[in-house]
Amino acid sequence: MKKTYIYLAVLLLTFTSCVDNPNVTEEDFLENNNSATSWIMGIKRQLALTMNDIVINSEMVSDNYFNNYTLYNKVYDIPQIDYTDIDGNSMQVEIGALREMAEYALETVLPSDPDATTQQWSYAYFAKAYALILSGENFTGLPMNSNSEAFTSSELLEASLGYLDLAIENESDAETILAYQLLKSRVYRGLGDRANAKSLAQTVISNNSLLFIVEFDGTNGVPNEIQNATFTASENRFAPLPRLDFLDPKFFDLGTASEDQKSLSLAKVEEAYLILAEAYTAENNLEMAKSTLNNLIDNVINSRPIMYLDDSEELRNGTNRQDYPTTAVEVSFESGQEFQSGYVLDRQEGLIPVYTVSGTSVTHTDIDASENVDDVLYLIYLMRQEVFISEGRRSNDLGIKFPVSQTEQLNNSNISAEFTLPVIPSFIPLDLGLDDFIVDETTGNVTMLYDMNRVLVQNKTSNHVLPFN
């Protein structure tokens, strides 16, 4: 039987209330009056599962977080990425499940249900598109269909655009349409298509509260895993880069953790501003780029919610590295740079602010003081890192891509050897350098070994990063 039956079985275990018999056949399921509704719910559940794998591994392989415990991958922090790694394969499996569940919705479930709505069609098209986006942004290549050949990152991104168009065509909610347009802008940026990315981003900034999310459900086995890794787990599994300490945690729970699972942003208007600023910089229009960044702070980030949290139990007590600062020390972004305050919080002094959607250290003064293209690009990528922390976006900005897994290659004769190699650009520090820092024994102040946003700007002509350059 097709893999579809596996997904159907999983779905029916979750939604047994929709049917009389948990051993229901495919035909019985399709004849059920709620088949479209149930299947779309299953797709949303799969999207949450997929994002858990993407976010955990992407954050770990980047400079955002260090795996300071033993539960997660042991080598991604190096970064070392092997095609034999089970975590890379798990990411592929989850993306494949999302893609095939969306395909089955479009080909079978929705056409079979006379009560299927246009919005359900829209969501299925979106899910198919998003599976392709995740594939293109995170992998050297992946199949687009079960057992097909691997397509390149660019081909996967290009293929997502048609499905996003169909999602927009079938959607009636204006805010959701803008979210899909923002995803198109994100894709065009990834493809280096500045004109289309810019045009769509200009449309999206008409809504300064735009936020499109995936939700989690702790009581039904789909908790937010990055929330667990950065807050809930008692052993504090993930430790943030010290200069990002003030943004951790992004997600937290009060009371019963299973009942307080925070949602994760898939598309938010902040990205439209950042895309526009990057496009203006590529056009050498520094005044518009700087104005756009200032507007991003005033119109969006300053309006996002800030929660206040008792985080006194956060002791950075993982066992892999025990010198993470726990008091309000100063931070230098790299050797030779001035030390700055406000990046590491003293969580014992009282409630700390939590930026549940977006926060940034960049100020109007920083923006106005930028003098050239590289200065502005540096601020854009610093803001991208800070705004998207804990959302699984940073490794793509660093140009890192996972390979097709050995499991896929062994079961799919169409996978060529070139796709089983990861992409780790030559400017990426190895030997744990991405997350490394030095602590002054006298002052406790922290110096980062590498300011990766400066490294990105220095390597802006690389075909792995900064797509508009």
Question: Distance between CA 316 and CA 179 in Å, rounded?
Answer: 36
| Residue 423 buriedness (CB in 10 A; 0-12 / 13-18 / 19+) | middle
State residue 82's pLDDT score: 97
Q: Where are the beta strands (DSSP E) in 215-366?
A: 238-240, 264-268, 306-309, 331-332, 352-355
Nearest CA to 189 out of 223, 147, 161, 229 is that of: 161
Domain ranges of the chain: 33-458
- Interacting residues of 108 by C-beta distance below 8 A, sequence separation 6+: 4, 30
Architecture category of domain 33-458 in CATH = Alpha Horseshoe (1.25)
Q: Per residue of the chain (469 residues), what is the pLDDT tens digit?
A: 344 444 444 444 444 334 445 556 677 677 777 899 999 999 999 999 999 999 999 999 999 999 999 889 999 999 999 999 999 999 999 999 999 999 999 999 999 999 999 999 999 999 999 999 999 999 999 999 888 999 999 999 999 999 999 999 999 999 999 999 999 999 999 999 999 999 999 999 999 999 999 999 999 999 999 999 999 998 879 999 999 999 999 999 999 999 999 999 999 999 999 999 999 999 999 999 999 999 999 999 999 999 999 999 999 988 899 999 999 999 999 999 999 999 999 999 999 999 999 999 999 999 999 999 999 999 999 999 999 999 999 999 999 999 999 999 999 999 999 999 999 999 999 999 999 999 999 999 999 999 999 999 999 999 999 999 9
Instruction: Identify the three-state secondary structure at position 272.
Output: helix
Question: Distance between CA 374 and CA 458 in Å, rounded?
Answer: 8
State residue 223's pLDDT score: 97
- φ and ψ at residue 354, rounded to 5 degrees: -125, 125
User: What pTM was estimated for this model as a whole?
Assistant: 0.95
Provide the greatest CA pair distance for the chain: 72
Full DSSP string of 131-166: HHHHHHHHBSEEESSTTPPEEEHHHHHHHHHHHHHH
Q: Assess contact for 12 and 35: CB atoms under 8 A.
A: no
Distance of CA 363 to the CA centre of its chain: 24
